[in-house]
């Protein structure tokens, strides 16, 4: 899973049906010091995260389908899902 | 999922089974402000995106799950038209109509 910071919100009225009713947030991957370490990406929020939060992102579709209570074979076209809000994170 | 901007279309007459009738668009990856972050690639379109529009895409196995037939050889699918990217820290965002450079309608 990836650690990222929520940096913005995304509005998309026209979307594929997998995204009906979902909250989309723009996230930037960060290291333990909070520095951005890659390109921004879009994630579906399933942990009531907000802008500025450091979050845990499941970045793979099989886990995403399980988070949504779907079977692994269901056609849910979602990859990145925010599954937790990080309270503390350090690297030794 | 990631952001991109539609920059063209791709025509391919000979296709793998399952890809018939699917729109192929050329997309360049962008960041929240619309700045290009990589080389252009081809993606399938599920939301009738047009040239110049900012979109978001899904990759890997989930790209084919966005299509009606879920076992099609694709690795990028356009799954939403971006209306607005609102950045909280004052960084440049994106607003449809203000920041997009659309081609002839």
Which two three-digit tokens encode residue A37? 């370490």
Which CATH fold would you assign to the domain A1-53? OB fold (Dihydrolipoamide Acetyltransferase, E2P) (2.40.50)
List CB contacts (< 8 A) between B83 and chain A. 11-13
Which CATH fold would you assign to the domain B2-95? OB fold (Dihydrolipoamide Acetyltransferase, E2P) (2.40.50)
Q: Rounded to the nearest 5°, which phi and psi values hold at A10?
A: -130, 130
Q: Do B47 and A14 touch (CB under 8 A)?
A: yes
The domain spans of chain A are: 1-53
List CB contacts (< 8 A) between A24 and chain B. 56, 80
Euclidean distance between the first and final Cα of chain B, in Å? Answer: 27
**Which pLDDT band, with edges at 50, 70 and 90, does B105 fall under?**
very low
The answer to whether residues B65 and A61 touch, using CB atoms and an 8 Å cutoff, is yes
Q: Give the predicted TM-score (pTM) of the model.
A: 0.89
User: Is the pLDDT assigned to residue B102 strictly greater than 80?
Assistant: no
Q: Do B47 and A80 touch (CB under 8 A)?
A: no
ipTM of the complex: 0.87
User: Is the pLDDT assigned to residue B103 strictly greater than 50?
Assistant: no
The domain spans of chain B are: 2-95
Run of H or E residues at B25: strand B24-29
Q: Do A75 and B70 touch (CB under 8 A)?
A: yes
């Amino acid at each position: 899973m990836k650690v990222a910071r929520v940096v913005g919100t995304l509005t998309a009225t026209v979307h594929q049906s997998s995204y009906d009713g979902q909250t989309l947030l723009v996230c930037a991957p960060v290291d333990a010091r909070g520095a951005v370490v890659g390109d921004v990406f879009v994630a579906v929020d399933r942990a009531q995260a907000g802008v500025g939060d450091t979050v845990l992102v499941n970045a793979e579709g099989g886990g995403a389908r399980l988070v949504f209570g779907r079977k692994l074979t269901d056609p849910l076209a979602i990859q990145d899902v925010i599954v937790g809000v990080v309270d503390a994170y350090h690297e030794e | 999922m990631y952001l991109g901007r539609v920059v063209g279309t791709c025509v391919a007459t000979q296709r793998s089974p399952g890809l018939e009738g699917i729109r192929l668009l050329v997309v360049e990856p962008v960041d929240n402000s619309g700045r290009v972050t990589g080389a252009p690639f081809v993606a399938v379109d599920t939301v009738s995106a047009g040239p110049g529009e900012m979109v978001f895409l899904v990759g890997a196995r989930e790209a084919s799950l966005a299509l009606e037939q879920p076992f099609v050889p694709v690795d990028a699918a356009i799954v939403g038209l971006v209306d607005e990217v609102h950045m909280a820290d004052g960084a440049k965002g994106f607003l449809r109509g203000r920041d997009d450079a659309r081609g002839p309608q």
